[in-house]
Structure 1
Amino acid sequence: WSVKDVQIYQDVDGDVGGLSPMVNDHPEEGFNGYEVLLFDSGEGEDPDLIWVRRNPDDDTSIQIAFKADLIGPNGYMWSAWADDGLQALDHRDYNDRFTEEDAGSPYPGSPLYPIKAIYLYDTTCRSFYGFTPTGNEPGLCP
């Protein structure tokens, strides 16, 4: 287990996701994304707030452990993303900061090809824990 390169950011003003989470809201300059860094490689109010490791039984997956007070008692939804391109937390969600034309596409057959503003980026659908989803939650995994 390690805290190296593990970060937690908070969106204090609730603008990540824009007016319609998981759906493109026309590019909005007023959104500021995740504006507070709560944890950075063991630095923060609680140096043990979150840990990560490669799964010892399956090296194609990782395991994440965090303290329950990070998320509260009512369950939560979560997703993960990897960003080795733009890395602009103040621009989250990217789909609310860039049009499809500005972002580009990795698919050669797409009229939006080639990749432009958004590159080296991947994300997951949203999973849930501690509650029963209604099915109307934005980005819920099938």
Structure 2
Amino acid sequence: MIGYFLLVEGCSPILAQQERESRKPKTPTVTSTQPPISFTMTPMMDLTPVSGVTLSDFKPGDPHGTPQIIYDQTCVSTSAEHKAPGGDDYTQGRFERPFDKEMNYLPSLDIVRAELVRSGYGWDYFTIVLEAEPASSPVVYGLELDLNIDGRGDFLIQLPAPTSSTWTETGVKMFWDSDGDVGGRVINRSDPHGYKGSGFESIKIDANAGKTRGQIWSRLISNGLQIAVAENLTGGKNSKFSWKPYTDGNPFPPTWYDIDDYFTMEQAGSAIVGDLDYPLKAVYTVDNTCRGLSGLTPSGNEQGVCPP
């Protein structure tokens, strides 16, 4: 199991933002001081399939190990002003937009931090901590996974808010980009004239429909949720991948990804007062973080990952 701490102040993106400097004012950095979520360690069994036993015969337990942590910008301090204090860089695919179309603040969509624990016992545990309890449908929460770290998402995990602290598969879906067009013509940057590919056009897991059950589970925690992903989906115990949590209050179709390619900046609007495109337009009620890199130490050259 490989684990390390990752601290991102203000969730600055890894790529330069020169072309955006004329559009927005300087914003302060924000460093969270909240401690990681702690859980009671429970015995786990090795989930390697043997003698006809499959992973679907087991449920996740509790995560144990050192978490990788991504701290995100939040909007609670500026919510009354109907704006984000920073952290929203649409051209880089970084969203800080936990507001409805009228710029009313939605704390159940505002990510405070995210954590990953790779247990080494068959499950990878992702935790999303919010400013408030997760909201009910149609709101969805999830993860985008890039398995070869090329900046193009491979899997999009999407699920409704769980309703209890018991692990459940209810509503879990995982979409797949089978033709590799997520990211558009220019990876990790908005295509200047928009790009409408097929996005995450194939579905690999649909728990409610009985398609490939037992691989992804979720449960409720205080002001957040936890998602357990079978490690075979992320490439195995020693794999390398990047991960990005997100919230979506008015879910975009998976075939519209990447959203910052599907909509131009002018169409999407902005959450930053002073931007030419303020307020929000087509792209609202969404939040995400930079991409966490798991399995190796960031060099700074990886596509779209959090700064080392």
Q: TM-score, normalised by structure 2?
A: 0.42
Q: CA deviation at 1:127?
A: 0.8
Aligned partner of 1:104 in structure 2 is 269
Instruction: Please say which structure displays the higher CA radius of gyration.
Output: 2
Give the distance between the partners of 1:53 and 1:106, measured in 2 at CA.
30
RMSD of Structure 2 on Structure 1 (CA): 1.9
Say whether residues 1:9 and 2:172 are aligned partners: no
Instruction: List runs of 5+ in structure 2 lacking aligned partners.
Output: 1-166
Q: Which contiguous aligned blocks of 4+ residues in structure 1 show a shift greater than 6 angstroms?
A: none
Change (3 A) 1:110 1:135: same
Say whether residues 1:88 and 2:253 are aligned partners: yes
Q: CA deviation at 1:135?
A: 1.8
Corresponding residue to 2:290 among 125, 133, 137: 125
Change (3 A) 1:112 1:39: same
Contact 2:185 2:195 survives alignment (8 Å): no
Give the distance between the partners of 1:32 and 1:61, measured in 2 at CA.
31
Q: TM-score, normalised by structure 1?
A: 0.85
Contact 2:217 2:227 survives alignment (8 Å): yes
Residues 78-120 of structure 1 show CA distances to partners (whole Å, capped at 9, x for unaligned) of 1111112251211100111111101011234321022111111
Change (3 A) 1:103 1:115: same
Contact 2:204 2:212 survives alignment (8 Å): no
| 3-state secondary structure, aligned to 1:51 | strand
Change (3 A) 1:133 1:108: closer
Q: CA deviation at 1:123?
A: 1.1
Corresponding residue to 2:188 among 22, 43, 46: 22
Give the distance between the partners of 1:96 and 1:19, measured in 2 at CA.
9
Give the distance between the partners of 1:125 and 1:100, measured in 2 at CA.
19
Instruction: List runs of 5+ in structure 1 lacking aligned partners.
Output: none
